[in-house]
Structure 1
Amino acid sequence: MGPNETSFGTLGSPNIDAIHSQSQPSSFGKGDQTVTDLKYRNGREVRGEDLKWNSRPDDSNSTYYENTFHSLTSDLKNVVETTLFIGRRVEVKLYKLALYDKGGHFDWHRDSTHGENHHATVLVALNTSWEGGSLLLRHNGQEMTSSESDSSSESGSEHEPDGLPSLTAAAFYTDVEHKVEPVTEGVRLILQYNVFVSLEQDDP
C-alpha cells in the first residue's frame, strides 16, 4: 500500500496490526463539509484505491491475492443483481477497508452517494473476532439488526468450494439509515463496496 507496500495478509487471515498502522481516522459528511467527530464516529479506514492486489501468493508485498479478491467481487455482483436489482446490470466497486477496534462506533447515518447511479452498499466482514459492534438498519420506521457480524466465530478458517474464505456480508440501499454500535472487545474489520446500477436493463 502506498510507497512502502505493506502486506495486509489475506481475506481469510487479515493482518490487523499492519492495517491499523496504515489506516487513517474516519471522517463523515455533515452538510457540505467532511468532518471528524469521535463522539459520532470513532473508526479508521484505508481507501479502496490504496489497496494493492497481486495474483502471486508468494509475493510478500501483496495485501490480498488478486484472484481471491476478484472472485469475491464477482460473487457480490451476482448476489446483488439477483436480489436488490433484479434484471439490472451493476458494478460493485471497493470503496474502503474500515476498522473499528474497542470503543469504535458510528451513529445513525446514510451513506454519501458517489454518483447518480450509486444506489446500494455492501459490507463484508473479514475473519476477525469482536464483541459488540452490531450493525443496525432503519427504514420507514422499521429497525433490524443485520447478520453481518463476527464471521470468525462461525466460519473460522474454512473455505468455500471456489477457494474463498467463508465470509458474511450485508447489502442495503443507500436510503437506509444504519448504525455501528460500540465494539466492546476485538476488532471489527469490514470491506465496504459501493454498488452502481446501469440505466440499461438486461435483455430478458
Structure 2
Amino acid sequence: MYHKEAKSPVVSKLGQSVRNISTRFSCGGKFELPPNGTVLMNYKTNPGTKDDSCALTGLVAAKETRVLWDSVEFPAASEAAIRKLLDACSVASFGFKDKNVTDKSYRDALCLDPLSFLTTFQLCGTPIMKQIESIVPNCSGLQAELYKLNVYPPGGFFKPHVDTPQSGQMFGSLVVCLPTQFSGGELVVRHQNEEIKYDWSSTASTPSTSLCWAMFFSDIEHEVLPVIEGYRVTLTYNLRYCNNPTSSAIHVKDNPFSQLVLSVTMETRRRCSYHTKLDPF
C-alpha cells in the first residue's frame, strides 16, 4: 500500500509544514548584566546559640527570636562570602513517592526557601519570559513563582529525575544561574531521543557578568552533573498558568503549520466573501 502525493497544493504545503516542525521541550540562553550591575542576595543567618542561664530559669533569650541577616553580591562574591551563605542553607530535598526526602547519594546540594532570602534580581526585567512564551502552548497568564535558591558545592550533583509538580497548573521549571566561578555542573535535559546540555561554567580570572538560564517542561528528565570546582548558585522557578488552559491553541507567530492554516483560512474567507457579493441569490 502506498500514498499518492496530494494533488492539492494547499494540502502539499500543509504536509511539508508539519514535517518541518521540530519538538521543542526546552529552551535557554544568557544575557548580560548592565554596566556595574550586580545581583544582591540578602538571607537569614542561623540564630545565635541559647543563653544557658535563661534556659535554666525557663526564660527565652531575646537573641533567639531576633532575625539576623547577611548578604552576598554577584558576580563579585568571594569564596568566603559563598561559604557563609552555605552555612545558612539546608540540605536540598527532592520529591519521592509524594514525599520530600533527602538523600545525598541521589542529590548533593544545599538550598534556601523564598522566605529565607531576598534578591534584587527581577525576572520581569529580563527577556527570559518572552522567550519562554514563544514555545509554550496557550501561555496566556503565564507566571513564574520563585521556588528555591540552590547551591551546588564542589562534588554536588543531582541524578536523573523528573520534577514533582507543585500544583495542577504547573507545567515547567526555570533555572537561572547566577554569575560565579565554577566548572562542571552541567544541566542535562532529555526527551525521547534528544538531549540538550547547558554548560554554564566559568573559570575565567575575571568574574562573568552573564546570567544563564534554561526552561524545560515538567515531564522532562533532567540532571545536574557533578560540580568539579567552585560553587554553582541558581534560582529556580515554578512555571504555571494563572488560569486553567481551555484549549490547545499555540502561538501562531511561532508555528509554521498554524501560520499556513491561518493564511489559507483568510484566503478562503476572502474568496467566499467575493463570490457571495456576486451571487444574486
Name the residue aligned to 1:174.
218
Name the residue aligned to 1:7.
71
Counterpart check, 1:136 vs 2:180: no
Name the residue aligned to 2:17.
none
Q: Figure out how many residues of one structure are paired with residues of the other and give that number.
A: 180
Whether the 8 Å CA contact 2:202–2:208 is kept in 1: the answer is no
TM-score norm. by structure 2 comes to 0.57
Name the residue aligned to 1:95.
147
Distance 2:124 2:235 in 1: 11
Structure 1 counterpart of 2:105, which letter?
Answer: K
Q: Shift in Å at residue 179 of structure 1?
A: 0.5
Distance 2:194 2:245 in 1: 31
Name the residue aligned to 2:173.
121
Distance 2:212 2:91 in 1: 25
SS where residue 114 of structure 1 aligns?
Answer: coil
Question: Given the alignment, which residue of 38, 42, 59 partners 2:108?
Answer: 42
Q: Shift in Å at residue 82 of structure 1?
A: 2.7
Whether the 8 Å CA contact 1:91–1:195 is kept in 2: the answer is yes
Q: Shift in Å at residue 134 of structure 1?
A: 1.1
Q: Shift in Å at residue 89 of structure 1?
A: 2.1
Distance 2:206 2:141 in 1: 31
Q: Choose between structure 1 and 2: higher strand proportion.
A: 1
SS where residue 167 of structure 1 aligns?
Answer: strand
SS where residue 130 of structure 2 aligns?
Answer: helix
Q: Shift in Å at residue 41 of structure 1?
A: 0.5
Unaligned 5+ segments in structure 2 are 1-42, 45-66, 253-281
Distance 1:7 1:88 in 2: 36
Distance 2:160 2:226 in 1: 12
Whether the 8 Å CA contact 1:151–1:168 is kept in 2: the answer is no
Which whole-Å deviations, capped at 9, do the CAs of 1:5-60 have from their partners, x for residues lacking one? 121324x33441232121101111111222111111001001123212xxxxxxxx
Pairs within 5 Å for 1:51-70: 51-52=117-118, 64-65=119-120, 69-70=121-122
Q: 1:21 to 1:145 in 2, by over 3 A?
A: same
Counterpart check, 1:19 vs 2:85: yes
Name the residue aligned to 1:150.
201
Question: Given the alignment, which residue of 81, 94, 116 partners 1:28?
Answer: 94
Distance 2:85 2:205 in 1: 23
Question: Given the alignment, which residue of 45, 65, 81 partners 2:133?
Answer: 81
Distance 2:191 2:172 in 1: 14
Q: 1:86 to 1:6 in 2, by over 3 A?
A: same
Q: 1:116 to 1:190 in 2, by over 3 A?
A: same
Distance 2:202 2:178 in 1: 7
Unaligned 5+ segments in structure 1 are 53-63, 159-165
Q: Give the ranges of 4+ consecutive aligned residues of structure 1 lying more than 3 Å apart after TM superposition.
A: 12-15, 151-158
TM-score norm. by structure 1 comes to 0.77
Q: Shift in Å at residue 157 of structure 1?
A: 4.8
Q: Shift in Å at residue 110 of structure 1?
A: 1.0
% identical aligned pairs: 28
Distance 2:190 2:245 in 1: 29
Q: 1:16 to 1:183 in 2, by over 3 A?
A: same
Higher relative contact order (Cα pairs below 8 Å, separated by 6+ residues): 1
SS where residue 123 of structure 1 aligns?
Answer: strand
Name the residue aligned to 1:186.
230
RMSD: 2.6
